[in-house]
Structure 1
Amino acid sequence: MIKCIIWDLDETLWNGTLAENEEIELKTNIINIIKELSKRGIVMSIASKNNFDQVKRQLKEFNLWEYFVFPQCSWEEKYKSIKLILDNFKLQPIHTAFIDDSPFERNLVNIYYPEIKTIDAKDYQSLLTQKCFMTNNADIELNRLQTYKQIEKRINDERNWQGTMEEFLYRCNITLNISLANNKDINRIEELSIRANQFNSSLKRYNSKGLKKIIEKDFYSISIVELEDIYGSYGVVGFIIIKKSIETAEYFIESLVLSCKIQGRGIGMAFLAEILNQIFRCGAQKVFIRVPKKDNNSRPINILLRLAGFRRHSDELLVIENNKLLEAAKWIKIKNKEGEKYEIN
């Protein structure tokens, strides 16, 4: 699944060379293509050898500037620009496409990132019909684009911040709203389970039908976490599915899934700690979490679980014992939605 398309500009998005002050004209139908791809939940970025301010002015004239996130316009090699884009998005190369008119640039990018899908600019009209750009989760309201715009603003503010990182995080006023999932949350939970890999403990994919059955089952619960800060609301950024064994009264985390957008601020740990503390308050002495056999220990979700205190129990289970309550980062506020409870029964 392609989650991000990185565009070259000269002779790719438009006809002409901007730096040479040539008359610039958008390629035929390019506005409709970018808007349609954005409505499919695919985000756009730029890797172009051009002057940033000049590019910004030109794209604003075309009313397209707001459709691009983390644009990299400089005279650096494009593979270096792409690395910055991937780092900002927290994306894997396999979920990325790069479109450029130059075979040299496409080949150079593939030397450094073989998994990136490279596309000849002359084939841009086919983007809407290629299978890898088809998604089951439409984003007609462009919520994903707006979320990444908020992240872009936060990252830029962080880079310009003169104080400590902790002071900046307190300033962000990060708040997590945790609640039990209901039917209206199912589509977002399904989407997260499909899109998340690095922060998906079980790597299991759920569909809406299966999720409805889980919500209705006794001894199962699905809790969701919504994130907001001074930059806006990010909606549901994670969920956890928990099963309580009838025979042993033990608790099993069937899946813990988090959006890659939350990395680096202690949000994943805060959500997990809150859920574990709720379980321990119910009297549980151990909590197990299911993981794939021979899983890659370097996946961020596995690093998070180790930091929380989980250890290997068997090929497919990790375990944490009720030694002490876990603490969330002090700059994160955790609360229930008004009038709702998310206690694990």
Structure 2
Amino acid sequence: MAAIDPQDQLKELDATLSGIEQVLDIPAMERDIAGLREQSADPELWNDQERAQAVTRKLSHLEAEHNRVTALRQRLEDVVTLYELAGEMDDADTREEADGELASVQKAVQQLEVRTLMSGEYDAREALVTINAQAGGVDAADWAQQLQRMYMRWAERHNYPTEVYETSYAEEAGIKSTTFVVKAPYAYGTLRGEHGTHRLVRISPFDNQGRRQTSFAGLDVVPVVEQSDHVDIDESELRIDVYRSSGPGGQGVNTTDSAVRITHIPSGIVVSCQNERSQLQNKATAMNVLQAKLLERKRQEEAEKMASLRGEGTSSWGTQIRNYVLHPYQIVKDLRTGVEVGNPTAVLDGDIDEFIEAEIRWMRQQESEATAS
């Protein structure tokens, strides 16, 4: 097989990067950055802490994204220069350096290209993530807690702020459920493909006979609601309970009944919040979580209705999506994209970008095929 000409690769990368710059609309991005900088410089902004934090988060994200694109463009130009130098000097070391940098730039461009695939109605939103232990007893509860840590570590790797709204601890180990928010633009578009059932196979640390155990945990990802969203909630259809927050082993976290649990009776959706000291604050946060879940349910119902009108079936991503096998061999495999990683330890420490990028491409392909049919 003939080797690929680096010049052809450079031309292809230049065209791809130009396409990315066009989709991201760099001039518009620069105008948005200028406007957000002006807002953040206004001392009055900090009278509304929540709005101020949203403005600074969005500004930080846009600046990072702009810098990422411009830095890639510069790196690509530098690679072109390196190849020119290698040719002029007929220097093998310089050519080897250029080859290495070309491969690195190619990977970075492919990763950036994934961002342009996130064009759904809610993809630019922050993400609200709920994890529930499913079948598997104490192992499932422990598995749910490991998944929570995995996503927290992933967010930490990307400098995405997170806030845990509620955690329900299991009696022996692990958690029954948890809800947290990833406060970064496009967090929902990035994580929505993680929605579904995650399966763990391992030797159970809770089985005194050392038997292999299969356990399951469910992940739910919905976009955070914004002021422009409208979800009708009839107060008479809600059951609101207050209780005392608790930690591992049932220990009390707060000395007052400040935690709030809201049940939406028609849908059966139950949400809780216990991270604030104030019962009113917890109720407000829990209502926001409920609105987000009802908004996502409404969106799914509308999508199913449209698919039915077109005579199509709807494909659900809320089924088993990924296997994490720790025994008798070690592998993590996505059942939709076929991506496999032989280092579960790294994956469970938050190294999941390869899975996320592949599933974003997979979802875009599924959506394109559905639109075309």
Q: Do they fold alike, i.e. is TM over 0.5? A: no
Q: Normalized against structure 1, the TM-score is what?
A: 0.28
TM-score under structure 2 normalisation?
0.27
Q: Which has the higher helix share?
A: 2
Instruction: Give the structure with the larger strand fraction.
Output: 1
Query: Greater CA radius of gyration, 1 or 2?
Result: 2
